[in-house]
Structure 1
Amino acid sequence: MILKTLFNPTSKTLLFSFLLLSVYLQSNAQEKKTAGNPVFQGWYADPEGTIFGKKYWIYPTFSAPYSKQVFFDAFSSPDLVNWTKHNRILDTASVKWAKRAMWAPSIIEKDKKYYLFFGANDIQSDKESGGIGVAVASKPEGPYEDYLGKPLVDKFHNGAQPIDQFVFKDKGEYYLIYGGWRHCNIAHLKKDFTGFIPFKDGNIFKEITPDNYVEGPFMFEKEGKYYFMWSEGGWTGPNYSVAYAIADSPFGPFKRIGKILQQNPEIATGAGHHSVIHDPKSKDWYIVYHRRPLGEKDGNSRVTCIDKMYFDEQGFISPVIITNEGVEKSSIK
């Protein structure tokens, strides 16, 4: 009966059409040259991009009401185009002191372990419980477990809310750069990430806040210069953006140069809270950021995107052109 149905004239046409569609879809998938923006589906923000081994990784905030931000997902790709989701690499079941608002993960590899720094609870004063924590795993995709059993930073120092953490390695030393509420601190991490090493003046938290800083710090070194980047504007508004400064030291002083990432009202709004990916063996630089699709009014309607980042002959960052196409395939060299 089945064979008779398949080979009647009408079924032949349907079967042939199905086969053509299948071949087309397979061919189209194989020929996919760019990821498109967003690079993966779902509401995700504050993405930190990095490289582990031969894969690109993105660790974002799950963009939802604070009470639902109780876990992190991660995404990996061999080529920037095809992404694999790793579900719930860390959640509040593993971090007893974290209750909500798990934000802006930052990750670093050390001694074959992966340390995930994150914010939780959105504390508004020193009387509340929460701040910046650390989780650890033996693989980039986890599962991660609470490393300290308590926050690493649980108070306001120099006016900086303990959120939006970034871990920066420089000349074998590790630093925590963080801060909301328009203040940014840098602190020298102990080798085991259990606390901090005081600076020569006895202080632990050194403020490095540049003009217009709001949140979302990120730093990288290029040709002996330190590029410090941050987000400006309100995260729920269309004018959320990224600016930067350059200094000879990770401690600054950082004098604001200008914006390099912002909305294009024909493509998306609220482009901000970014990170940078660079394979040292490649000339390509990528900026990973979130933005709000056109027509979306909900503050949590944020998606993760990647576009190319370029430098001019003087080493200044050129304004980023945000696109719908995204970046082309590129494997780790």
Structure 2
Amino acid sequence: MLISIWSPILLLCSLISLALTSNPAFPGWYADPEGIVYGNRYWIFPTYSAPFDEQTFFDAFSSPDLVTWTKHPRILDTNEVTWATRAMWAPSVFEHEGKYYFFFGANDVHEGEVGGIGVAVADKPEGPYRDILGRPLINDIVNGAQPIDQFVFKDSDGQFYMFYGGWSRCNLVKFNSNFTALVPLPDGSLFMEVTPQDYVEGPFMFIRNGTYYFMWSEGEWAGPDYRVSYAMSSSVFGPFERIGTILEQDASIARGAGHHSIIKVPNEDKYFIVYHRRPLNETDMNHRETCIEEMNFNNDGTIRPVKLTIEGVTGPALP
């Protein structure tokens, strides 16, 4: 009789326990997550969230369903990137012609210092990655934008661009064919400022139904009010008029929800937002966790506010 009474309760507790492990997506302090689909697996490339001078390497994580994750440790570190004397963070990744590219920021660069945006490449998503240039691709401060928080975007015509920038300024640049140099934009310049209202850092872009969605983080990354807002445009060049905030803290779940990326399920109108947040009981600014939620749209194409959850998500099986 005891078995018949307690077995369903134990099963329910077990299921609840499993659900509670879904957000964060995987254990450890990780931030600035870049999510992408490679083949039949979901991938996340985050910052190792630690005191600045301890962020000297990158781990990656892959999953068949956004629930069960495999860790791929130290896919790139400062032993390979010899000019990175301090932290590395905020990856941006993509595949092109069978090669896997990994952009990153390194060193807390100021005018006259060496640091900024670097680029590495590998033959497999899990690396190992090698530094292509042996120096930053972008080192200088242009239009007031610190060269950090890069996002590489492939337009519908196949051309690659990159949004980047800290210090509340954002630039757009265009790549040559092998991502080793910048080429002029349509107006002849190498750098185009595209800073929207309230922008701080962490740019991201995707296309849905012909509309360009430009997203970014606002607020202070170490504070509770870190958040994600967005704009919509008909062009990669903008203009980007701020529409509103779609991801922010929830006083019952977590604070500092921001610096995100978007995963689109191939061949489906289904999107997930991958972001970091700080648990309510944590005061250390580096104690950030990577989490995933589903992101949905209104009939007019605007993005619905995202609800922070403990349960997380399950992704559709990939072909």
Q: What are the superposed Cα offsets for residues 19-39 of structure 1, whole Å, 9 maximum, x if unpaired? A: xx9xx89xx69x957861000
Q: What's the offset of the Cα at 1:166?
A: 0.4
> Secondary structure, in 3 states, of the residue corresponding to 1:67?
helix
- Structure 2 counterparts to residues 313-324 of structure 1, below 5 A: 313-324=299-310
Query: For 1:145, which of 127, 130, 147 is the aligned residue?
Result: 130
Q: What's the offset of the Cα at 1:330?
A: 2.3
- Structure 2 counterparts to residues 158-197 of structure 1, below 5 A: 158-170=143-155, 171-197=157-183
Q: What's the offset of the Cα at 1:284?
A: 1.8
Any conservation in 1 of the 2:148–2:165 contact (CA below 8 Å)? Answer: yes
| 1:262 paired residue number | 248
Runs of 5+ unmatched residues, structure 1? 1-20
TM-score of the two chains, using structure 2 as the length reference = 0.93
Query: For 1:285, which of 263, 268, 271 is the aligned residue?
Result: 271
Partner Cα separation in structure 2 for residue 196 and residue 53 of structure 1: 29
Q: What's the offset of the Cα at 1:149?
A: 0.9
Partner Cα separation in structure 1 for residue 210 and residue 280 of structure 2: 39
Partner Cα separation in structure 2 for residue 329 and residue 141 of structure 1: 20
Query: For 2:116, which of 121, 131, 153 is the aligned residue?
Result: 131
- Structure 2 counterparts to residues 12-23 of structure 1, below 5 A: none
Any conservation in 2 of the 1:34–1:329 contact (CA below 8 Å)? Answer: no
> Secondary structure, in 3 states, of the residue corresponding to 2:101?
strand
> Secondary structure, in 3 states, of the residue corresponding to 1:151?
coil
**Match for 1:304: what amino acid?**
T
Any conservation in 2 of the 1:46–1:273 contact (CA below 8 Å)? Answer: yes
Q: What are the superposed Cα offsets for residues 134-169 of structure 1, whole Å, 9 maximum, x if unpaired? A: 001000000001011110000101110000000000
Query: For 1:300, which of 258, 277, 286 is the aligned residue?
Result: 286
Partner Cα separation in structure 2 for residue 166 and residue 35 of structure 1: 29
- Structure 2 counterparts to residues 225-236 of structure 1, below 5 A: 225-236=211-222
Q: What's the offset of the Cα at 1:202?
A: 2.2
Give the share of equivalent positions with the same residue, in percent. Answer: 59
**Match for 1:167: what amino acid?**
V
**Match for 2:278: what amino acid?**
R
Q: What are the superposed Cα offsets for residues 262-285 of structure 1, whole Å, 9 maximum, x if unpaired? A: 000100000000000001312321
Equivalent pairs counted in the alignment come to 310
Runs of 5+ unmatched residues, structure 2? 1-6
Any conservation in 2 of the 1:35–1:327 contact (CA below 8 Å)? Answer: no
Q: What's the offset of the Cα at 1:257?
A: 0.1
**Match for 1:192: what amino acid?**
N
CA RMSD of aligned residues (A): 2.0
Q: What are the superposed Cα offsets for residues 183-221 of structure 1, whole Å, 9 maximum, x if unpaired? A: 001101111001011123321010110000000000000
Are residues 184 and 315 of structure 1, via their aligned partners in 2, closer, same or farther at CA, if it must alter by over 3 Å? same
> Secondary structure, in 3 states, of the residue corresponding to 2:100?
strand
| 1:212 paired residue number | 198
1:101 aligns with 2:87: yes
User: Deviation above 6 Å: which 4+ runs of structure 1?
Assistant: none
Any conservation in 2 of the 1:214–1:233 contact (CA below 8 Å)? Answer: yes
Partner Cα separation in structure 2 for residue 154 and residue 135 of structure 1: 16
TM-score of the two chains, using structure 1 as the length reference = 0.90
| 1:328 paired residue number | 314
**Match for 2:61: what amino acid?**
F
Partner Cα separation in structure 2 for residue 116 and residue 178 of structure 1: 14
